[in-house]
Structure formats: structure tokens, C-alpha cells
Amino acid sequence: MEITFERRFRGPLTSANGGYACGRLAAYVEAADIEVTLRQPPPLERPLVVRRDDGVVVLLDGDAVVAEACPATVTLEPVPEVSLDEAEAARERHVRGWSPEFGECFVCGDRSSGDGLGIRVGSVLGREPVHAAPWTPSESAPEMVWAAIDCPGAYAVGAEGRGEVILGRMTARILRVPEAGEPCVVTAWPVAEDGRKLFAGTALFAEDGELLALARQVWITPRL
């Protein structure tokens, strides 16, 4: 089995978006809650081998381990839902604050219309530090949901905008994949800190408040 990440799905300029990569690998795990740990940036435009190893699904670039996925449990509750109107207002408070490395990110970067997800969260008025943004998927696929609930967490733990934090681990539960064209709301909030590790929660809601997906994330602050 192999996975190839097309350049369209880049997060940083030279590697795949972390949430999208996690979602592609999670497809090989049969569980309600799935944990994916990224060991190194997923390379673009070359086949990577998927191997099962004692209950763990491993993504390999030659002999190097790129990522590992296994059944797990999402150990947090979502914040109360954010309405679509609140999310649209929050998007107007989006703080770009990108490192140039993430300026073309598939999820939150500047892309031509329809090429990326265009999810740019901002703080929810009166509910800081909760962040939110509207999102209407153009295609119905689990890996798109994983991507959608990725980058918002970086903004929730960032002091000014996204910053340079890197996704290290994502544990997610996808309850329902939204249909193409279905209005949704993405939310994100900080959970805890432990040295260079920053923990965030993210969720996806339908317009009527139905919880569609929930994730707990570990973000890593690069060494200076």
C-alpha cells in the first residue's frame, strides 16, 4: 500500500499539511477514535509505503518513519457550539501572523479560489480564547475533515496568528463527514501547555449545532 501527497495539499512549502496527512493515514485504522503521530514532515510528490506493524499503521519514506496511526480515545469535550453568524464575525478578526513557510497552506493559506480550504479562524467575541470560522466543504471526504480541524488549533495556541508551531500529534473522532456544500463551523481552543508542547482542542459543527468531528492536538514549538 502507498500514499502520495500531491503538492496541492502542502502545509509548509515543502511538506504535506499535517491534518490532511493524518487523515489519509487514519483511513487505514478501523476505530472510532484514531491517534496519528507525525515523526517528520510528510514529503510531497513521492510514494510513501503504508505498513501494519503490531496493531500500528506506519507510514514510511524508505526506512524513515514519517507517521504512525493507531486506535485511541479523544479525551476532551468540545466547547459549546458557535453559531454560523458568530463564526463569520470571528473570521473578520482573523490575525494572519503567518510564518512565510505556511503562507500557501492548504487549510489556512492564500490560495486561488477552490484550491484550498480557506479556513481562517478568529477569536469569538466575548468567548476568547475560543476561535472559529465558517467552512463549506467542496467535497465530502474524511481527510478533508481532518485537515479542516488541523490549522485552527495552531491559531488557538498562537500568541499572534498562527506562528511557527508544528503539529506533532492529532487524536480525532469523525462522527459524520459533511456533504459538499453543507455550511459548517470550525472551532478551536487552547487546552494546556507543557514546555515546548502546546495542547489544543478543535471541533467541527453542522449549522444546526450537530457535532461532526472532535480532536485533541499536540503542537510543538520549534527550538530557537
Residue 78 lies in a domain: no
* End-of-domain residue from the set 71, 104, 123: 71
Domain count, the chain: 2
What is the C-alpha to C-alpha distance for residues 128 and 140, in angstroms, rounded to an integer? 30
Residue 113 lies in a domain: yes
pLDDT value for 44? 97
Say yes or no: 165 and 212 in one domain: yes
Say yes or no: 58 and 93 in one domain: no
Say yes or no: 10 and 106 in one domain: no
Question: C-alpha cell of 32?
Answer: 472510532
Q: Which residues pair with 167 in a beta bridge?
A: 219
pLDDT value for 159? 59
**Residue 10 gets which letter from DSSP?**
B
> What CATH number should be reported for the domain holding residue 161?
3.10.129.10
Say yes or no: 101 and 153 in one domain: yes
Say yes or no: 66 and 161 in one domain: no
Say yes or no: 112 and 216 in one domain: yes
Question: C-alpha cell of 223?
Answer: 527550538
User: Torsion angle of alpha carbons 16, 121, 87, 92, nearest 10°?
Assistant: -130
SS3 content of the chain, % helix, strand, coil (to 5): 15, 35, 45
Structural domain boundaries enclosing 10: 2-71
* End-of-domain residue from the set 71, 93, 110: 71
What is the C-alpha to C-alpha distance for residues 162 and 155, in angstroms, rounded to an integer? 4
* End-of-domain residue from the set 11, 42, 71: 71
Residue 204 lies in a domain: yes
Residue 76 lies in a domain: no
Residue 42 lies in a domain: yes
Strand order in the sheet with 197-206: 2-3, 48-53, 56-61, 64-71, 33-38, 166-174, 211-220, 197-206, 184-194, 131-135, 122-123
Residue 39 lies in a domain: yes
Say yes or no: 115 and 154 in one domain: yes
What is the C-alpha to C-alpha distance for residues 28 and 205, in angstroms, rounded to an integer? 25
Say yes or no: 125 and 173 in one domain: yes
DSSP-derived pairing of the beta strands 56-61 and 211-220:
unpaired
Say yes or no: 173 and 130 in one domain: yes
Say yes or no: 90 and 134 in one domain: yes
92-115: pLDDT as tens digits:
988 776 667 778 899 988 877 778
pLDDT value for 162? 65
Say yes or no: 102 and 64 in one domain: no
Spatial contact of 185 and 82, defined as CB atoms under 8 Å apart: yes
Question: C-alpha cell of 216?
Answer: 485533541
Say yes or no: 66 and 91 in one domain: no
What is the secondary structure of 83-116 as a DSSP string? Answer: -HHHHHHHHTT----B-GGGTT-TTTS---TTTS
Spatial contact of 207 and 183, defined as CB atoms under 8 Å apart: yes
Q: What is the pLDDT along the chain (224 residues), one digit of tens a residue?
A: 899 999 999 999 899 999 999 999 999 999 999 999 999 999 999 999 999 988 899 999 999 999 999 999 999 999 998 999 999 999 998 877 666 777 889 998 887 777 899 999 999 988 889 999 999 999 999 999 999 999 999 999 975 666 678 899 999 999 999 999 999 999 999 999 888 899 999 999 999 999 999 999 999 988 76
